[in-house]
Amino acid sequence: MSADVSRAKRVSLTGGGDRLDRVLAKALPDVSRRAARGLISAGAVFVAGRRCRVASRSVPNGTSIVVHLPTMAVDDAPIPLPILFEDERIVVIDKPPGIHVHMTESSGEPSIVERWPNTVFPVHRLDRGTSGVLLLAKDKVLAARLMEAFRFRRVEKRYVAVVEGKVPDGTIDSPIGRDPRRPRLYAVRQDGRPAVTMVRTVASIENLSVVAVDLGTGRTHQIRVHLSSAGAPILGDRAYGGRSHVRIGERIVHVERPALHAARLRIALPDGERTFVAPVPADLRILDPAGLALETAYA
């Protein structure tokens, strides 16, 4: 299985009056009905603002449609996806930061699912800026089974984060919901969904700490929200109060994304329990000279 991600071009249409695959084939000269069905199945088509995976859906005239078309420009090199493990049923990658797991309507950026349309099915997700272990199934039956394991917390996930300041060891048990002031983000809210995060500090210097994080629940942005609410935002996580640069001794260190890494995943598979580990990514290695060895959070 190849392991790279190509860029995509976002095309906006206004059309309808037929089933979706025919509408796309008529509107896009280089897209056949078969290719249109492939795009739809891959989740690359959004109808009236929502992803649509049904090629036979009837589309009324005047409907807004967004399509992400894969491109292979000469100067647009594929983004590598390091494979940690692969067999006939699953593939486990070390997801680089800056890549969506699923394509979004507003973004022409690459996604993991786009790279392997109709052949892999993510069973969990990582935020765009988060790196680390990502598990994908190669058939829908196994994907459903593994998604259930994640849903009912039969999976062990270990994250490592670099935070500003210090956070007490222990459990953060605070519900999370949409932030009314910033609808794309989340916040601790009494009317939110239950969220439980276990935190342990493994290394620290004057203004930064490395923490090992285990999850009792799996809410969107949970680690980022909980650590920010504890007064220790993740370095580089500007959405939740983290700075993109910090002084370490005489150096100014720049971190361009949240310093959050999915380090380890343990899960029961059809052939038995397996553990997958993603090494510390290169962009966070810049913290090593300060004594913040992120590997200490793996144990």
The torsion angle over the Cα atoms of residues 217, 218, 220 and 225, rounded to 10 degrees, is 40
| pLDDT tens profile 38-57 | 888 877 888 988 888 899 99
Q: Can 179 be counted among the known catalytic residues?
A: no
On whether the CB atoms of residues 118 and 18 are closer than 8 A, the answer is no
| pLDDT tens profile 116-168 | 766 788 899 899 899 999 999 999 899 999 999 998 889 999 999 999 999 99
Same domain, 114 and 166: no
pLDDT at 73: 42
Q: Is the pLDDT of residue 77 over 70?
A: no
pLDDT at 76: 46
Same domain, 270 and 141: no
For the domain that residue 55 is a member of, what is the CATH number? 3.10.290.10
* Dist. CA 32–CA 36, nearest whole Å: 6
- pLDDT, average across residues 166-176: 96
pLDDT at 10: 72
Same domain, 165 and 250: yes
Same domain, 100 and 177: no
Nearest to 60 by CA among 19, 94, 100: 19
Report percent pLDDT > 90 for the chain. Answer: 53
Q: Which helix (H) or strand (E) holds 24?
A: helix 20-27
| pLDDT tens profile 201-257 | 999 888 899 999 999 999 999 999 999 999 999 999 999 999 998 887 777 888 989
- pLDDT, average across residues 29-35: 84
- pLDDT, average across residues 18-40: 87
Same domain, 113 and 160: no
Average pLDDT score, the chain: 86
Domain count, the chain: 3
Which member of 21, 94, 127, 283 is catalytic?
A: 127
Same domain, 173 and 255: yes
* Dist. CA 129–CA 161, nearest whole Å: 12
The secondary structure of the chain in percent helix, strand, coil, rounded to multiples of 5, reads 20, 40, 40
Same domain, 212 and 251: yes
Same domain, 100 and 163: no
pLDDT at 75: 40
Which of the two residues, 242 and 109, has the higher pLDDT score? 242
Nearest to 194 by CA among 169, 226, 168: 226
pTM for the predicted model, two decimal places: 0.76
| pLDDT tens profile 84-99 | 999 999 999 999 998 8
Range of the domain at 89: 79-151
Same domain, 129 and 205: no
Q: Judging by DSSP bridges, how do beta strands 170-173 and 156-164 pair with one another?
A: unpaired
Nearest to 269 by CA among 150, 159, 158, 160: 150
Sign of the CA dihedral running 7, 13, 18, 23: negative
Same domain, 122 and 65: no
For the domain that residue 123 is a member of, what is the CATH number? 3.30.2350.10
Domain boundary among 106, 133, 151: 151
Domain boundary among 151, 186, 205: 151
Same domain, 105 and 218: no
Q: Is the pLDDT of residue 78 over 80?
A: no
Domain boundary among 129, 151, 173: 151
Same domain, 112 and 179: no
